[in-house]
Amino acid sequence: MSANTVPTGTGPAGPVSTGVVPTAKPIKTTGLHIGDAEPGCEKIDPILVVDNVRRTFGGLTAVDVDHVEVPRGAITALIGPNGAGKTTLFNLLTGFDKPDSGRWTFDGRSLAGVPAYKVARMGQIRTFQLTKALGLLTVMDNMLLGATGQTGENMFRALMPFLWRNQEEENRAKALDLLTRFKLDTKKDDYAASLSGGQRKLLEMARALMSDPTLVMLDEPMAGVNPALTQSLLDHILNLKSQGMTVLFVEHDMHMVRHIADWVIVMAEGKVVAEGDPHEVMKNPAVIDAYLGQHHDEDIGEDLSAETENVSAIKELLNDER
Amino acid sequence: MDWGAIFSNAAVELISPTTAAYALAALGLAVHFGYTGLLNFGQAGFMALGAYGYAISILTFGFPVWGAFLVGVGASVLFALILGIPTLRLRADYLAIVTIAAAEIVRLLFTTNTFASVTGSANGLSGYKNEFAALNPLADGTYGFGPFTNNAYDTWLRIVAWSIVILAALLVWQIMRSPWGRVIKGIREDEDAVRALGKNVYAYKMQSLIFGGVLGTIAGMIFALPRAVVPSNYQTTLTFFIYAILLLGGAATVLGPIIGSMIFWVLLSFFSGFVARAVEAGWLPFMSSIQAGQLRFILVGVAIMLIVIFRPQGIFGNKKELAFVR
């Protein structure tokens, strides 16, 4: 878990130093839920429904989610303090890890026990917290790897180029189009290992889009990305929504969450503790407790400098809201 | 000192069937290690299966050459499946442990007296060459020139061996530039990333293990044709020689294993001839001729070390596309 992207403003009323400066106000999708915005509340049109998913590592319960629904066609943020189980839940939902128990469905189809590659083929594509660019492949090869249903990926048909040459050309054109959008087209023949950290994040996102996914799951897309690239990444994520994709992302950067997310799910100690509109959810006592601890407003004589980054981040946000 | 004989003996190795066999086995290893990142330390086991599969099919069951060939290939596919099913889901180093052990098991099974009537135990098998020789379209006589002069059988064997090597090289070259090869190289880089893109990584690794293993098996058959099948030929050192050849030529290349094998065998033969004659001529008074026989391996080792130190990507390797130094 890296916390280095959590904004640490200069003070409660001071300017935001590393926060995101929105170029245009994104259009928020509202009216996603039925009833009160409480943990596990029903959505109008859920794309991902999770029931009783539990994962323990020895004595530690990393994830214990009773019920949660991810709304379709919206940007949902999964937030929570370090160790809340966000990445573990991601791994469970994408088939990279197996839960001790539980059921979850994607687009109405059950995903329990489905291996990761099949989950990806169903249109639920993920990226990783630690970027996984394939270093010794060119940027273009990285992109082409993302395309699905390739004839030439069968061992025997691979030996007959006439069977897959046309498809390859189509994929290449599509990849080039995506690379141009992500401003990586000039790098297409370089090894992915030669890209900067932020460019690798862009490449990973572009590669995921090669398969035309319906649900894009981004694990800390902003971790280790410099502020200049952050804006462009944000725009790309907003673009995904405007193209009809659903986005679920894990993030520590609260400003970014508030800026682009339509819905926020807060996890703490493996459980979903709050859900709601990004502006409302930050005021939820359960969220404040999760980040600050239950006794945050009692003076117990502690040195203020001992506050964690999470604490200062959320306090800053609460002040911003006023 | 008869330099002419030394060089001519070394030149013989350039196109010998043994060189071809090592080249083919190294090509199989390039598929495993260089392209897929599978640490197969049991290539000797695949070769043994080829040699024994071929020899036993002909001697015990009286199969024709193509039947014996298919038996060898079938045995190697089965071997790859047995190795791969439990280990390919695990981390790469487990495959290394399992393959090195499995290759030893194969060799010891062929050595044990229990099956002596079929395998010939430690003495091995011979007398399976007639079927192959019968296919020879060349008339009796000698062919070639200079150090490359051979009788009809040896010429026929060289033609077949190198044709197979060239065919296999073309096959590997074509398949590695296809989308299949792209997935394979992606798996070498990061298999989780490839999995997240919807590829069945396990199936691809299995296909690669079988493909490279079958190349090793065919290499084992070529290796067996100029000599007898003896279990002690298929020790772990054989695998390490093949790794040396692969690293010498370049791990993720097609030409590397072939040229690497030529260099390895020419050097080995050159040092062997040179040291033997140097001892005879009294240049190395501290050494007996038996010790001299081992010195060639030391010198080859030094030569390979020098190449790996000063050209770690191998002769044909692209310095950037290198699986083992990062």
For residues B184 and B36, the answer to whether their CB atoms sit within 8 Å is yes
Instruction: Tell me the residue type at A218.
Output: L
Instruction: Tell me the residue type at A65.
Output: V
**B62 contacts: CB under 8 Å, gap ≥ 6:** none
- What is the average per-residue pLDDT within B241-267? 91
Torsion of CA A230, A231, A236, A242, to 10 degrees: 140
* The pLDDT value given to residue A313: 65
Question: Which sign does the torsion angle of CA B155, B159, B164, B166 carry?
Answer: positive
Torsion of CA B208, B212, B217, B223, to 10 degrees: 180
Please check whether residue B175 touches A, CB under 8 A.
Answer: yes
Per-range mean pLDDT, top range of A33-42, A219-228, B6-15, B200-209: B200-209
- Closest chain A residue to the Cα of B205, Cα to Cα: A155
A185 found inside a domain? no
The number of domains in chain A is 1
A69 found inside a domain? yes
When pLDDT is cut at 50, 70 and 90, the band that residue B320 belongs to is low
- What is the average per-residue pLDDT within B266-284? 85
**A239 contacts: CB under 8 Å, gap ≥ 6:** none
A145 found inside a domain? no
Spatial strand order of the sheet with A263-268 comes to: A124-126, A215-219, A246-250, A75-79, A263-268, A271-276
- What is the average per-residue pLDDT within A138-167? 92
A244 found inside a domain? yes
- Asked if A145 and B183 come within 8 Å (Cβ–Cβ), the reply is yes
Question: pLDDT of A293-309, one tens digit each?
Answer: 655 555 555 444 445 56
Sequential DSSP letters for A188-218: TTSBGGGS-HHHHHHHHHHHHHTT--SEEEE
Structural domain harbouring A17: 1-133+212-222+239-322
> Terminal CA-to-CA distance of chain B, rounded, Å?
45
Per the prediction, chain B carries an average pLDDT of: 89
- Asked if B200 and A117 come within 8 Å (Cβ–Cβ), the reply is yes
- Asked if A155 and B321 come within 8 Å (Cβ–Cβ), the reply is no
A152 found inside a domain? no
* The pLDDT value given to residue B321: 56
Choice among A65-69, A196-200, B235-239 with the minimum mean pLDDT: A196-200
Torsion of CA B251, B255, B256, B261, to 10 degrees: 130
Choice among A22-36, A113-127, A259-273 with the minimum mean pLDDT: A22-36
Q: Identify the CATH number of the domain in which residue A294 sits.
A: 3.40.50.300
Token match 């061996």: residue? B161
- Closest chain A residue to the Cα of B201, Cα to Cα: A117
pLDDT at A9 over 60: no
- Asked if A134 and B201 come within 8 Å (Cβ–Cβ), the reply is no
- What is the average per-residue pLDDT within B3-13? 88
Compare CB distances from B189 to A120, A128, A136 and report the shortest one's residue. A136
A189 found inside a domain? no
* The pLDDT value given to residue B109: 94
Query: Looking at beta carbons, which residues of chain A come within 8 Å of B197?
Result: 120, 125, 145-146, 207-208, 210-211
Instruction: Report how far apart, in Å, the C-alpha atoms of B267 and of each of A36, A73, B3, B264, B297 are.
Output: 80, 66, 14, 5, 10
When pLDDT is cut at 50, 70 and 90, the band that residue B292 belongs to is confident
* The pLDDT value given to residue B310: 82
**B209 contacts: CB under 8 Å, gap ≥ 6:** B32, B36, B38, B40, B80, B83, B84, B88
Nearest to A8 by CA among A227, A315, A293, A229: A315
The secondary element (H helix, E strand) that includes residue A64 is: strand A60-71
- What is the average per-residue pLDDT within A147-168? 92
A115 found inside a domain? yes
Instruction: Report how far apart, in Å, the C-alpha atoms of A163 and of each of A157, A159, A171, B175 are.
Output: 7, 9, 14, 13
* The pLDDT value given to residue B308: 76
Nearest to B68 by CA among B56, B86, B77: B56
Helices (H), chain A: 86-93, 116-121, 139-145, 161-181, 197-209, 227-242, 254-260, 278-281, 285-292, 309-321
ipTM of the complex: 0.85
- Closest chain A residue to the Cα of B200, Cα to Cα: A117
pLDDT at A163 over 90: yes
* The pLDDT value given to residue A43: 85
- What is the average per-residue pLDDT within B146-155? 87
- What is the average per-residue pLDDT within A58-77? 90
A152 versus A23: the higher-pLDDT residue is A152
A8 found inside a domain? yes
Compare CB distances from B196 to A126, A152, A161 and report the shortest one's residue. A126
Choice among A205-219, B2-16, B104-118, B309-323 with the minimum mean pLDDT: B309-323
* The pLDDT value given to residue A14: 36
Question: pLDDT of B111-125, one tens digit each?
Answer: 999 898 888 888 989
